[in-house]
Structure 1
Amino acid sequence: MDAMVSSRSELKPREAGGRLAHIDAIRAIAALLVVVMHCAALEEFAASTSWLAQAANVLDFGRIGVVLFFGVSGFVIPASLISGEHPGTFWVRRFFRLYPAYWFSIALVLLTQWLFWTRSFSLHQILLNLTMLQNFLHAENLQGVYWTLKLELVFYVGCYLLFMVGLLERTALLAALSLLLTMIFVCYLDFYQGPLGFSRSIVRAIGLPSGSVAHAVSTGDNHPIPGLLNMNWGYFCAYFSMMFFGAVLRRWHDGDAGRVAQVLLSIVGVIWVVVLPMWGWYAFRASHVIDTVTVFAPCALALALFLVLINWIRVRSRVMAAIGLVSYSLYLLHPIVIDAIVWGGKRTGGTLDSSFVAFVLVCTLLSIGAAAACYLAIERSSIATGRSLARRLNSGLLPLGARR
């Protein structure tokens, strides 16, 4: 996800001195939450009594981390589309930030899956995964964490199109999109877990299928195509809402958000942080089914945490900033590291369930080491290449069309 790799050099020059340095720490927190979640999801720790494992599963640390990344992406990416620059520079920078490290992770996945578990993949699946568009082409991800990348790409395309037609600067429009997407998520939430049932009534009234298609659960890849009423579509709307929320919040910070945008964004925040928790508590009291809370609580917690870390508790630790710098590689590579540790434990006949905290610590440290190596060997040079090509494109040395 580009939220993990966008450096502060992409921010406005007046902000490059450190006012937004805490964004790196948010990336680090998000990545570490995802690592902990994937450790807790191992079957070896299914019965763990560790407070950390239980908290990770109940609160869904992984979803909290992903939503934090999406919020940061919204906060950073639209600001990198600058009037006067060649519009192609946006895609040049995005390509060289995302794809080289992504392709390297694919190579490692193929190698380790074959070495550890003798698992192989079809050439068709591998080739489609190389595009990062595999979910749109009905192919499964080679690695589970890749599912978020398609949402980032959709957000980039959306921002780019809004930029090209001159609407990306309409902050009130972005806030309205965030509110609209939030309300669509609420409708999905009500359809599946809500106590009111108004969404089911609407579905029946307009004649949409409410049986097998509506309740079909997509693959672990969160495939975006099948089943319009699939709850994954609801989550997608929630994620895009968070991205546009981050974009408007950035404009608000810059003093570029008007009163209408501020009011709309405040409404979105109140819905997520106040209304939905109250609704979830009411639903839980009525049904005693914890899913009514856990289905949306991670998103609500993530947005609340995002607001706190952006506005009030600005973490500026050098260590966290360094982890944030390599957070994209950390996100891509940590499942491979976890696989290697699990495989090594089974080969030596050891057990992993003795100390969950110790296991997380080992996985985290080794994953950060692998991420740092990937950043130094691949990301740093590819980012520099993207910047160099973008400068040449802006200067007219690469004739790829006219400037906007």
Structure 2
Amino acid sequence: MPRPPAAPGSTGSPRLGRLDALRGIAALLVAVDHSSYSFMPEFRERVMPELNIGRYGVMLFFLVSGYVIPASLERRGCVRSFWIGRAHRVYPLWAVVVGSALVLNLLGFTRLGARFEGRNPLTVAVAHATLLQELLGTPSVVLVLWTLSYELAFYLLVVALFTVRLHPRSGTVSVALGVLAAVSATVAFVPPASALSLAVGTGPLVALASAALVFAVLCESSGRYELRVTGAVAGGVLALVLVPFNGTVPLWEGLVILAVMFLGTAVRRAEGGESTWPRAARTAVVVVVCAVGSAYEHGDTATFARRGWITAFLLAVLTFGAALALRGTRFPRALTWLGTVSYSVYLVHPVLLAVSDGVIGRCRRDSLVLEAVFFAVLLPLCALTHRFVEVPGQARGRERIRRVTEGTGGNLFASGGD
């Protein structure tokens, strides 16, 4: 999951150190979840019915994203700069990882052909370029990329609210999405995964959504308020259509994901004095009750899978809350460093696992040694990708943002600010 471009590693403020620590924990959880397929199958079989480790990490990531992304936009006050910063934060490592996955497929380490059989390569490429592939009926080349689709939907909603000056209402938005999730979990008819793609076809939907995304971003970055509002509406509608009606997770979970991210925003507003803690607490209670109720009512038909999701969700919320309670505390350097490279850990570990599976295969019994060796290779590799891929990308983004600011005479409002 992308982290805000300005967040440092272990040398920043306690607040940033806390966020880095949460990212580090989340990235580690997701990597442990996926590596357990290869090296810890018995552990996985015992633990997963009670705790979905991957969902624990992902929900924690979403809470942190909700906390930091709107703050990044509002701090800049410039939508164009926001999109430039996000693009330079996300795409460089994304391109390296997707390219590596395609190379591994050519070398026989992965079998992407079966997953994309019968699909138009151009459609697949365009869907991935938008980052919305998981919401456009297209499987992800690297499975963890599915969360980036939901993150981008959140970005579109955040920018829309900011543009129409409704961004302080994040708590209300979170509650509304949570309630909608609960309602959707009780209705008799539930749309199938990728329902829109099934109805209109993946190709036409990818073309329409891609055009809408480009239109929204360009208009939102305009200097004219009318165009910015038009783009904001287009982007917001795109997100609100794709997440509920064309996601690969159930309708209720897609809405819960958005509600969780806006919950993170509501908490940040309370911490910054823009809202009150009682209001944030009420928002949290409603979202948690709706999420757990939705999972219980319409979760997987296998009770153990439902229980594992609920436990993971509650632990993610509790972990986030514990970090809030520890504000002002300096976290261990190891955790803050892990948070610094968390985006690399998140995207790179599936590629390394593909190599491992192709070379040595998967274990039939737990092997702590191989699990330790995997992380001993993964973390230095992520340090390298962070240093030579992520950091230069962010530097280029900051330079472009500086030129945008200078080009408007320092007037961010001329670049799409509010």
Short-chain TM bin: 0.7 to 0.9
Could you give the per-residue CA deviations for residues 53-77 of structure 1, whole angstroms, max 9, x where no partner exists? 6224531111111111110001101
1:123 aligns with 121
1:82 aligns with 74
Relative to 1, partners in 2 of residues 1:132 and 1:240: Cα closer, same or farther, differing over 3 Å? same
Shift of 1:6: 4.1
Q: Is the 8 A contact 1:40 1:57 kept in 2?
A: no
Paired residues, number: 361
Q: Is the 8 A contact 1:37 1:57 kept in 2?
A: no
Query: Please, which of 34, 37, 41 is the counterpart of residue 38 of structure 1?
Result: 34
Could you give the per-residue CA deviations for residues 254-290 of structure 1, whole angstroms, max 9, x where no partner exists? 12214773353243366269x759x95x999xx9933
1:109 aligns with 101
Query: Please, which of 40, 64, 68 is the counterpart of residue 60 of structure 2?
Result: 68
Q: Is the 8 A contact 2:170 2:265 kept in 1?
A: yes
CA distance in 2, matches of 1:291, 1:133: 27
Matches within 5 A, 1:5-24: 6-8=5-7, 17-24=13-20
Q: Is the 8 A contact 1:27 1:327 kept in 2?
A: yes
Could you give the per-residue CA deviations for residues 166-224 of structure 1, whole angstroms, max 9, x where no partner exists? 111x2xx21111112222222344x4xxxxxxx33xxxxxxxxx3xxx374569xxx95
Matches within 5 A, 1:129-168: 129-168=128-167
CA distance in 2, matches of 1:25, 1:53: 28
Relative to 1, partners in 2 of residues 1:215 and 1:92: Cα closer, same or farther, differing over 3 Å? closer
Q: Is the 8 A contact 2:175 2:259 kept in 1?
A: yes
Shift of 1:78: 0.6
Shift of 1:140: 1.9
2:414 aligns with 402
What one-letter code is carried by the residue in structure 2 that aligns with 1:261?
R
TM-score scaled by length of structure 1: 0.78
1:49 is paired with a residue of what secondary structure? Answer: helix
> Aligned-residue CA RMSD in angstroms?
3.5
CA distance in 1, matches of 2:243, 2:303: 29
Matched, 1:306 2:320: yes
Unaligned residue ranges in structure 1 (runs of 5+) = 192-198, 201-209
Shift of 1:310: 2.5
What one-letter code is carried by the residue in structure 2 that aligns with 1:326?
V
What one-letter code is carried by the residue in structure 1 that aligns with 2:350?
P
Relative to 1, partners in 2 of residues 1:356 and 1:53: Cα closer, same or farther, differing over 3 Å? farther
CA distance in 2, matches of 1:271, 1:328: 30
Point out the more displaced range, 95-104 or 261-270.
261-270
Shift of 1:9: 5.9
Shift of 1:391: 1.7
1:91 aligns with 83
Matches within 5 A, 1:152-301: 152-168=151-167, 170=168, 173-189=169-185, 191=186, 199-200=187-188, 210=189, 214=190, 216=192, 232-258=250-276, 261-262=279-280, 264-268=282-286, 271=289, 276=293, 289-301=303-315
Relative to 1, partners in 2 of residues 1:19 and 1:110: Cα closer, same or farther, differing over 3 Å? same
Query: Please, which of 395, 401, 404 is the counterpart of residue 384 of structure 1?
Result: 395
Q: Is the 8 A contact 1:86 1:394 kept in 2?
A: no
TM-score scaled by length of structure 2: 0.75
Q: Is the 8 A contact 1:272 1:300 kept in 2?
A: no
Could you give the per-residue CA deviations for residues 142-186 of structure 1, whole angstroms, max 9, x where no partner exists? 111111111111111111111111111x2xx21111112222222
2:250 is paired with a residue of what secondary structure? Answer: helix
Shift of 1:81: 1.6
Query: Please, which of 26, 39, 49 is the counterpart of residue 42 of structure 2?
Result: 49
Matched, 1:393 2:393: no
Query: Please, which of 382, 390, 395 is the counterpart of residue 371 of structure 1?
Result: 382
1:59 is paired with a residue of what secondary structure? Answer: coil
- The alignment-based identity, stated in percent, is 26
Shift of 1:233: 1.7
Could you give the per-residue CA deviations for residues 107-152 of structure 1, whole angstroms, max 9, x where no partner exists? 1000112212465566322343233222344322111111111111
Q: Is the 8 A contact 1:188 1:231 kept in 2?
A: no
| Higher RCO (C-alpha 8 Å, min separation 6) | 2
Relative to 1, partners in 2 of residues 1:337 and 1:228: Cα closer, same or farther, differing over 3 Å? closer
Could you give the per-residue CA deviations for residues 375-400 of structure 1, whole angstroms, max 9, x where no partner exists? 11111011011111112211226999
What one-letter code is carried by the residue in structure 1 that aligns with 2:69?
I
CA distance in 2, matches of 1:137, 1:60: 26
